[in-house]
Structure 1
Amino acid sequence: MKQTNAAPALQAPKRRLWKEILKHRYLYMMVLPCIVFFIIFNYIPMGGLLLAFKDYKFNKGILGSPWVGFDYFQTFFNSYQSGMLIKNTLIISGMKLFLYLPFPIILALMFNEIRNKWFKNISQSILYLPHFISWVVVVGLVQRILAPDTGLLNQFISGMGGDGSTFFMMEPDYFYQIMFGSHLWKSIGWDSIIYMAAIAGVNPDMYEAAKIDGAGKLREVWSITIPSITPTIVILFILSLGNILSAGFDQLYLLRTPGNMHLADILDTYIIQIGLQGGQYGYATAVGMMQGVIGLILVVLANKISRKVSDTALW
């Protein structure tokens, strides 16, 4: 009797699940292209991670190539370049993660205080536009502006009576400023959108109560707006930790010059060099896999710590 009663009890939740799916079928149909996209371009390619443990042979394919175990990982950490590559990657990604973090938040707060809709729309459009410009164009603009003698900056320095022949792109002392400045200009407007959406969700009654209590604009921002969007900030920070060892290939590869190469060479550029240019597909896959595994570990740890400290987490 127990076995006959167990089957209908197990089928009931399944029937309810399918009823919910049928009820919201149009919403699921809207999500379907996104799911298919991630399956095709993110999950299926994961099978290629086998290359990290195999000596890939074109005539044998991935499955037929001989196993090499963890040899590629040992080779990378024994390489004289590994320390420099990891250091450069951590410095650049750290600047983009920690130093860059307040800028889109501040911009969103500034946009939130603009009352003139015409000026607000124009300002947002101008600051969103760089996001849609490729890094090839952005770095081309940077090179034109910083070019020796003919560049805009050098011409300004010459006009002020200084030496206008500095080759900024070749000077390692200016690399981090150029890298961070171009990243800030390209990304700040677009990254502020999600913070603006979080600010729009703050209860207006809280601001009214603060005004009655005599709070000024800065006090409202500090005591109401920032605490209200803190969960959003924490979630985005946790997600960003997954890319701590991926400092951005496009920008850094284009900014590399013989003068700053010892600072601009990162794991992403190294993977392209040894993989596509050098033909060492297994070795490149191993280095890329290491990036992903470390990023996953950091996301899990940060999520766990955030849940204990602030009750805000991804899961």
Structure 2
Amino acid sequence: MNTSTHPEDLLQTGTRTSLLRRFRKTWPFHLMLLPAVILALLFHYLPMFGVVIAFQEFKPYLGITGSEWVGFKHFKALFERTDSLQVIWNTLLIASLKIGFMILVPVAFALLLNEIRKMVFKRIVQTLVYLPHFLSWVILSAILVDLLSPEGGLVNRVLQDWFGLPPVFFLGDGEWFRFTVVTSEVWKEFGFSTIIYLASLSGINPDLYEAAEVDGASRWKQTVHITLPGLVPIMTVCATLSLSSILSAGFDQIYNLYNPLVYDKGDIIDTYVYRVGILNQKLSFATAMGLFKSIVSCILILSVYRLALKMANYRIF
């Protein structure tokens, strides 16, 4: 009888032994992750079974198993209804404006803040612009409604008393509503986003500035030829990764600020799904809309990570 051991068997035995040895060292970490894994399974993966109602004429009293299957009926309606097409357009427009300004404004502010030499003043400014990020839209929306009111709001009082302009209905006019949404989002988040660009600025080689100064380059030329090129990689990464959220224009903000007067200009996919699905009880159509958004977002996420890897050598793993 041949009792020799095959090399592949030895390799597999060694691999199993190595895995067991590693697991004995790391099992406490796996145990710590277990609650999070269970919660993710219960609240993220198990409910995904409910997407089948997008292909049904769902009736709550009949349940998923008893409701009639209608195939892609609701998906066809998604692209035939004028209100749903308008919602998709609103989402793309508002999200695109937010992405664009949330790159330009933090970069400009980081460049200005980087020029401040008094550290005490610099830290005070940083703290002040970071604070809005930590406030919820429930609080900020109440503040904005009061400030932007056409009847006695501070902003309209300034426009009337100082400039002689008529009052503007910022939250009741569609075009002004979009402007208000984008502006308030930038005001709330640009300070926190500035952290990324300040960190990138600190990573630029100071020898480059010293060499440019010796050559007689002004501060403006140093910014154009050294600072901005140094920020291009992180700007590319942020812009690329932001594309994955092009169909998410901010449910919390829109929901707390909008009203029926601006549905045609300010309604986005998330608020539309909530209103149609929860309030109007058109659960199948709302689920189809949400599933459409999820599929497109998943494709965008995979694409932009691939693009970020190719353009800026960015990867998570």
Q: TM-score over 0.5 for the alignment?
A: yes
Is the deviation greater in 159-168 or in 260-269?
159-168
Matches within 5 A, 1:158-173: 158-160=160-162, 162-163=164-165, 165-173=167-175
Secondary structure of the corresponding residue to residue 247 of structure 2 = coil
Does residue 73 of structure 2 align to residue 71 of structure 1?
yes
Q: For residue 145 of structure 1, what is the amino acid of its counterpart?
A: L
Once residues 214 and 20 of structure 2 are traced to their aligned partners in structure 1, the CA distance between those partners, rounded to angstroms, is 51
User: 2:192 aligned to 181, 190, 193, which one?
Assistant: 190
Once residues 121 and 60 of structure 1 are traced to their aligned partners in structure 2, the CA distance between those partners, rounded to angstroms, is 60
Is the deviation greater in 17-26 or in 204-213?
17-26
2:114 equivalent in structure 1: 112
1:95 equivalent in structure 2: 97
Once residues 128 and 176 of structure 2 are traced to their aligned partners in structure 1, the CA distance between those partners, rounded to angstroms, is 26
CA contact (8 A) 2:241 2:308 kept: no
CA contact (8 A) 1:234 1:312 kept: no
1:106–1:15 Cα change, 3 Å: farther
1:11–1:123 Cα change, 3 Å: farther
- Segments of 5+ residues of structure 2 without an aligned counterpart are none
Give the TM-score of the pair, scaled to structure 2: 0.83
Once residues 215 and 17 of structure 1 are traced to their aligned partners in structure 2, the CA distance between those partners, rounded to angstroms, is 58
Q: Deviations over 1:147-187 (max 9, x none)?
A: 12411122223323625544332233422221111111111
2:11 equivalent in structure 1: 9
1:232 equivalent in structure 2: 234
Matches within 5 A, 1:117-156: 117-156=119-158
Does residue 252 of structure 2 align to residue 262 of structure 1?
no
Once residues 98 and 110 of structure 2 are traced to their aligned partners in structure 1, the CA distance between those partners, rounded to angstroms, is 18
User: 2:84 aligned to 76, 82, 85, which one?
Assistant: 82
1:69–1:149 Cα change, 3 Å: closer
CA contact (8 A) 2:240 2:307 kept: no
1:211–1:161 Cα change, 3 Å: closer
Q: Deviations over 1:182-229 (max 9, x none)?
A: 111111111222222233333334434443444333333333333334
Deviation at 1:22, TM superposition (A): 6.4
User: 2:159 aligned to 157, 176, 179, which one?
Assistant: 157
Once residues 185 and 41 of structure 2 are traced to their aligned partners in structure 1, the CA distance between those partners, rounded to angstroms, is 30
Once residues 248 and 93 of structure 1 are traced to their aligned partners in structure 2, the CA distance between those partners, rounded to angstroms, is 8
Q: Deviations over 1:229-268 (max 9, x none)?
A: 4333223223221211111112222322343221011211
Is the deviation greater in 113-122 or in 204-213?
204-213
1:253 equivalent in structure 2: 255
2:280 equivalent in structure 1: 278
Deviation at 1:105, TM superposition (A): 1.8
- Segments of 5+ residues of structure 1 without an aligned counterpart are none
Alignment RMSD: 3.2
State the aligned residue count.
315
Once residues 17 and 139 of structure 1 are traced to their aligned partners in structure 2, the CA distance between those partners, rounded to angstroms, is 53
CA contact (8 A) 2:110 2:198 kept: yes
Percent identity over paired residues: 34
